[in-house]
Structure 1
């Protein structure tokens, strides 16, 4: 079984993109906690991803590349709105960080994720890394379509 081990953090205001990033549109065909089914268009490629329930920072994950035309049609079937963000990739301390800058109703939210080989892997945090939000369900992308960041009480 494929397994994703991921930690998620807020990004401090001192972070600046080091590259052009890539636009992402993603929609959810299922958002129940037992399984999320996501379709994503990332630049000129598309993916269908199925994720199981979180157990700590781990969960089953299966991802398959699909034709972009299929993904465009699946986005029409997805729960609305479609989530939009720009993703930047940065290496730090031997790990690849994915920094997502959200758009639309989630503008202002910037989250960094790191995938790890084991749950207890130690890593060196970059200076722009903020509070860890790995266990906070509000920050799950599937939940951001239902309760966008702009509606949260600050």
Structure 2
């Protein structure tokens, strides 16, 4: 078992991604009940994982992740996620001894760019880069499961579509079949 401790933020300046290579991610949710663990299937590049996550307690939660065959993941996404799927491209950005994972969302959430950083403990000091915007760690509207269920962010004005770096534009729309 691993303990996931992370903080999440909106990204205010996507130019930080210029010239970076991202990795496509497709993830879907098989099950999630209030107060219970969520069950997620994810294809990241050419690898696939099944992940169980407990509800958050502060910035932390338990996380169990297992590699699974890519064909199994594709079948689960198409047949068992009931459309609860998120597509994004992930970029890794180093800043002040931390690695920020910056996700550029596609499809119905195009224009949404979030960053998260995993920490060794909840009290870890964090120096935020200037391209980071509002903290959304405790805003459930930005949780991947919520995004997978919704056609757009609830209670939010339409998201502006930022000028994405060429590498993000080249990633195009991901599909779940080959």
**TM-score with structure 1 setting the length:** 0.94
Residues paired across the two proteins, number: 154
Higher strand share: 1
Give the distance between the partners of 1:64 and 1:54, measured in 2 at CA: 20
Deviation at 1:16?
Answer: 2.9
Match status 1:88 vs 2:91: yes
Give the distance between the partners of 2:24 and 2:10, measured in 1 at CA: 19
- SS of 2:77's equivalent in the other structure is helix
Give the distance between the partners of 1:125 and 1:67, measured in 2 at CA: 37
Give the corresponding residue for 1:58: 60
Structure 1's unaligned 5+ residue stretches are: none
Give the distance between the partners of 1:149 and 1:8, measured in 2 at CA: 19
Give the corresponding residue for 1:75: 77
- SS of 2:149's equivalent in the other structure is coil
Give the corresponding residue for 1:25: 26
Q: 1:126 to 1:141 in 2, by over 3 A?
A: same
- SS of 2:25's equivalent in the other structure is strand
Structure 1's consecutive aligned runs of 4 or more residues displaced over 4 angstroms after TM superposition are none
Structure 2's unaligned 5+ residue stretches are: 158-178
- Map 1:99-110 to 2 at 5 A: 99-110=102-113
Give the superposed CA RMSD: 1.4
Deviation at 1:92?
Answer: 0.8
**TM-score with structure 2 setting the length:** 0.82
1:85–1:103 CA contact under 8 A, matched in 2? yes
